[in-house]
Each structure stands twice: as structure tokens, then as C-alpha cells.
Amino acid sequence: MNFKKVVQRLLFLVLVIWAASTITFFIPRLSSRNPIRERFAELARSGGFSPADMETIIAAYSAKFGTDKPLWEQYVNYISSVARFDLGVSLNKFPKTVWELIMESLPWTIWLLLLTTVLSFVIGNLLGAISAWPRAPGWLRTAATPFVLLQGVPPVLLAVLLLFFIGFRLKLLPLGGAYSIGRVPTWSWPSFLDLAKHQILPALSLILGSMGGWVLSMRGMGVTIQGEDYVNFAEHKGLSGYTIFRDYYLRNALLPQVTGFALALGSVITSAIVVEQLFGLPGVGSVLSDAIRSNDYMVIYGVVLFTTILVASLMVLVELVYPLLDPRIRH
């Protein structure tokens, strides 16, 4: 890929970030709700200060956050803040910034996403390739059928079912949380086992929910690859079935799957955020859920924008890497 194409893709990424920032800014402002007033109204109902004091505090916070300025000025300030990677300050957990809240929770989300995405992609594509390979054993070719049936079940619904049957009824795994109550995570083997035990159900729900799609698409590609000339030539050369499957069949069938992987990142990240909130994991999903419950609009804007930028960046990265995987593609 030449330098011009790389610059074009990076400029497109900047355009996507600008569009996402603009949409994130204007859509919530279509409502007449005032997040600062609603937040302090909740505090006033719980007791603490008089209505006169509340109006003074609201005016001070509105001036600090710039919500008392004209809309165009707010937009310019917001875009300039995004350009400086400044997502603002949390209303609910002031003076913590949105970046601090995201960075504190991001390792949990990255770990869950990395584990589930890699496992579902690898296992799903391998099962899909085997199910279409005519030389594979019959029992191995039918092993992918249950995962195909689960394709139509959303990961959130799978999480609820696993939570009910495995966690609640059978009591084999914890119902939620990142670690056991009263335990302080340390760099020790018992602590690692405890953390892993709490990650099994959320990881399993995401893996089972996405593996069926990889099995189906890979099986379709495998059936197409079988009739290609280079596969027939490899068979006539007398190569072993394992060599043909690995070097001629699987590697070529995986190329379109990389594109599908980039397109599936958005749904995977969205599902992971919801599953995190369901299992009470201290990830980005829980931060977003707490912000929604407390009307912390600054955190909501920041998490949504951060997720959009992350998905767009990963898609551009996969697009830049794709020519390295397939020498036939120049850009």
C-alpha cells in the first residue's frame, strides 16, 4: 500500500471522528432537558440545600461547563476539546474527568473483548472450514451445527440464560462481579483463578453468540475454495490432506473473513458493553450504565464517542493490514 492510500484512510478516520462528535453533540441537545439542573434536583430531593442555593450552584456549574453560552459556541468548544482528547468532567463524580473513568474501566473491557473476539474468530473459522472439508471425519463436520443454531440468539439473551441455569440453578459459577466479595486482587495464583472464574460466563455468552456467524461464513467460503484450480492442482501433486487444508484451503478462505472481522467489531463491542453491565463487571459498560442512571451526560457523551472512535480506528487498521495478508491486493 502506497503512502497516498494510507493518508486517505487516515483522513477518512478524521472525518468519521468529526461526524461522530457532531452527532454526539447535537442529538442530546434536541431535548429540552438540562443535565446540570436534573442532577442537582436529585441532590436537592435527597436533602442538602435550599432552592435558592440550588439556582446559584446551577448557574455556577453552567458557567463552568459552558452550557450558558450560545449553541454554536458550545459546539466550537466541544470540537476543540475533542481535538485535544479532552472529554470533559463527570457531573456525578466531579472532579474526576471522563478520561479517568474510561481509563480505569478500560482494562476490564479490553481483556473481555480480546479473549472473546480471538476465541470466537479462531474456533468459529476452524469449525466452519472443517465442516466444509470433505476429508474431515463425519462427527467433526457435524460439531459446528449447535453453534449455527445459536447464531440467531443475541449475546445478551445468552448471558441471561447462562446466568440463570449455570449461575443460579446449578451454582457452578458466580452470578456476577469481577471477583469475590472481600477479596482484594493481587498478583497471585488464587487471585487469578478467582478473576478467571468470574469471567467465564460473560466470555462464554459473547463467544457462543458470535461463533455461529463465523462458522456459516467460513463454511460458505470453504465450499467455494474447493473448486479452485490451485486446490485441485495441490491434490494432483499428491500433497497430504493436512497440507492442502492448511496451506491451500484454510489460508485462502480466511482472507474474506478478515474483512468480516472488521465489520463485526462494532456489534461485538456493543454486546460486550451490555454484557458487562449485566454481570456487574467494572468495565466501560458499567461506567455507561451508571452515567445513564445518574444523568451524567458528560460521561455518556464521552463513552459513546470513545467507542465510536475505537471501532472506526480498528476498521481502518484492519483495512491497512489487509494488503499484507493478500499479496494480490495493492490497496
Domain annotation for the chain: domains and CATH numbers = 105-283 (1.10.3720.10)
- Which grid coordinates are listed for 164? 440463570
The mean per-residue pLDDT over the stretch 303-323 comes to 79
* Confidence check: pLDDT of 1 > 80: no
pLDDT above 70: residue 331: no
Instruction: Please determine, for residue 48, whether its predicted confidence score (pLDDT) is greater than 60.
Output: no
In single-letter form, the type of residue at position 26 comes to: F
Of 106-110, 115-119, 165-169, 291-295, the one with minimum mean pLDDT is 291-295
The confidence score (pLDDT) of residue 182 equals 67
Among residues of the chain, what percentage have pLDDT more than 90?
A: 0
Q: Give mean pLDDT, residues 292-309.
A: 79
- Above 70 in pLDDT, residue 326? no
Contact (CB, 8 A) for 98 and 89: yes
- Point out which residues pair with 97 in neighbouring strands: 89
More confident residue, 241 or 282: 282
What SS3 string covers the chain?
A: CCHHHHHHHHHHHHHHHHHHHHHHHHCHHHCCCCHHHHHHHHHHHCCCCCHHHHHHHHHHHHHHHCCCCCHHHHHHHHHHHHHCCCCCECCCCCCCEHHHHHHHHHHHHHHHHHHHHHHHHHHHHHHHHHHHCCCCCHHHHCCCHHHHHHHHCCHHHHHHHHHHHHHHHCCCCCCCCCCCCCCCCCCCHHHHHHHHHHHHHHHHHHHHHHHHHHHHHHHHHHHHHHCCHHHHHHHHCCCCHHHHHHHHHHHHHHHHHHHHHHHHHHHHHHHHHHHHHHHCCCCHHHHHHHHHHCCCHHHHHHHHHHHHHHHHHHHHHHHHHHHHHCCCCCC
pTM beyond 0.75? no
Portion of the chain with pLDDT greater than 70, in percent: 84
Q: Looking at residues 253-282, what average pLDDT do you find?
A: 76
Lowest mean pLDDT among 4-18, 84-98, 179-193: 179-193
